[in-house]
Chain A
Amino acid sequence: MPTTCDIVATYFNFIWNSFRKDYERDGSVKKKIPTWVTIVLIFASIACMAFGIYRGEVDTVLTKAVNICMECIGLG
């Protein structure tokens, strides 16, 4: 029975290898990252955004943006 650590390590290894083996040193294409990885990451990013909106981060952004940011303009 694989432990949680094993599963995480397997997934991490898979993703890492996907990136690492994209191109050989001489530039030839060895293996491309499957599209499903991108799709999963897109859903993850949407979920991430939704969670941030749910937590009220948009209000934090708005509050910061509607006031002049003294640090940004070099006065703060």
Chain B
Amino acid sequence: MAKNPHVLRKCIQAGWGILSNAYVKGFLPGGSPIYKGELKRICVPGMNCYSCPGALGSCPIGSMQAVFDGRQRKFAFYVVGYLALIGLIVGRFVCGWLCLFGLIQELLYKIPTPKLKVPEKIDRPLRYLKYAVLFVMVFALPFFVRSEFGMGAPFFCKFVCPVGTLEGGIPLVLLNDAMRPALGWLFRWKFLLLIICILSSVFIYRPFCKYICPLGAFYALFQKVSLVKMHVDESACVNCGLCAKTCKMNVNPCKNPNSGECIRCRECINACPKHALSMGIREKGALGEKDISGVMEEKS
């Protein structure tokens, strides 16, 4: 396995992406266009369209809306509980390590072009947009807006999600001739959003994750209470600012190690010359709370 931590993370992201889209028959002509097995009862932790020909699991955001927009207007206890459990254990770790769309954006950012730093005045308010997307497009609209037949719609998937277009729409349209005549304004709109997302990813680090992703917003709600947390050893920190410079999500790990924007990629930990940053499970309550790895180091 790769010793370089950056390469290791990319390998895990890619490996997870392949594993969760391993239904090869979906990509072959003549077979079922998507996987229809029992595994789809379970949601994958990252953004992964369930209409992707290879998808073995369900998309959590799509599943949540599927329960909300049903005729009976149910609250999605299963998916919300499942995502809350992940968030409470690892926070946004999933964003940094187990999201295929995140990996795609990271790879696009590697294209050697001048990079754009979004001014803080614009960046800061835009960060809240993903929370608005979560509460309005994933929770409220599918739950409250009904058609004349009493059905809701998955508003986020339908009007915004570029992941569905990339992983589901484009492959299905390319593989199935019968779908092509059905392409209309909605596909063109979503395709345009995908292009914007891809182009902006070349210049801005993970723009979809920073500003739009409702799943990232959901996990971010649990970042400060999650079991696995970032820790700063204030006695070791020399405030050199290297961690903040390294962080591509524009977080200052020294000042706010468990910011909702942190995707726990560990790049700041690797960059810290004094090893003042660590990530681990908290040992005990408010006082005397320590990172287990830190305790082990002290003992040794």
The contact of B51 among A41, A49, A69, by CB within 8 Å, is A69
Is A22 a contact of B62 with CB atoms below 8 Å? no
- From B49, B82, B283, name the one whose CB has the most chain A CB atoms within 10 angstroms: B82
**Contacts A49-B81, A52-B78, A76-B186; is A65 near B157 (CB within 8 Å)?**
no
Q: List residues of A (34-61) whose CB comes within 8 Å of B's CBs.
A: 34-38, 41-42, 44-53, 55, 57-61
Is B63 a contact of A74 with CB atoms below 8 Å? no
B residues within 8 A CB of A33?
224-225, 286
**Hey, which bits of chain A sit against chain B, CB under 8 A?**
19, 22-23, 26-27, 29, 31-38, 41-42, 44-53, 55, 57-66, 68-69, 71-76
The contact of A34 among B76, B187, B285, by CB within 8 Å, is B285
The contact of A69 among B62, B79, B283, B284, by CB within 8 Å, is B62
A residues within 8 A CB of B179?
75
- A sample of 7 inter-chain contacts (CB < 8 A) reads A41-B88, A45-B88, A61-B67, A61-B78, A65-B62, A74-B186, A74-B189
A residues within 8 A CB of B173?
73
Is B154 a contact of A72 with CB atoms below 8 Å? yes
A residues within 8 A CB of B255?
23, 26-27
Q: List residues of B (240-288) whose CB comes within 8 Å of A's CBs.
A: 252, 254-256, 258, 282-286
A residues within 8 A CB of B157?
69, 71-72
In whole angstroms, how far apart are the Cα atoms of A46 and B172 in the complex?
A: 36
**Contacts A38-B226, A47-B81, A71-B158; is A60 near B164 (CB within 8 Å)?**
no
Binds A, one of B7-15, B30-38, B131-139: B30-38
Is B164 a contact of A49 with CB atoms below 8 Å? no
Is A64 a contact of B50 with CB atoms below 8 Å? yes
Is B165 a contact of A74 with CB atoms below 8 Å? yes
**Contacts A38-B227, A75-B179; is A68 near B172 (CB within 8 Å)?**
yes
In whole angstroms, how far apart are the Cα atoms of A27 and B256 in the complex?
A: 6
Q: Does B169 contact A (CB under 8 A)?
A: yes
Closest to A58 in B: B41
The distance from the CB of A21 to the nearest CB of chain B, in whole angstroms, is 11
**Contacts A73-B172, A74-B187; is A35 near B77 (CB within 8 Å)?**
no
In whole angstroms, how far apart are the Cα atoms of A36 and B79 in the complex?
A: 23
The distance from the CB of B32 to the nearest CB of chain A, in whole angstroms, is 9
Is A60 a contact of B282 with CB atoms below 8 Å? no
Is A75 a contact of B169 with CB atoms below 8 Å? yes
In whole angstroms, how far apart are the Cα atoms of A22 and B254 in the complex?
A: 14
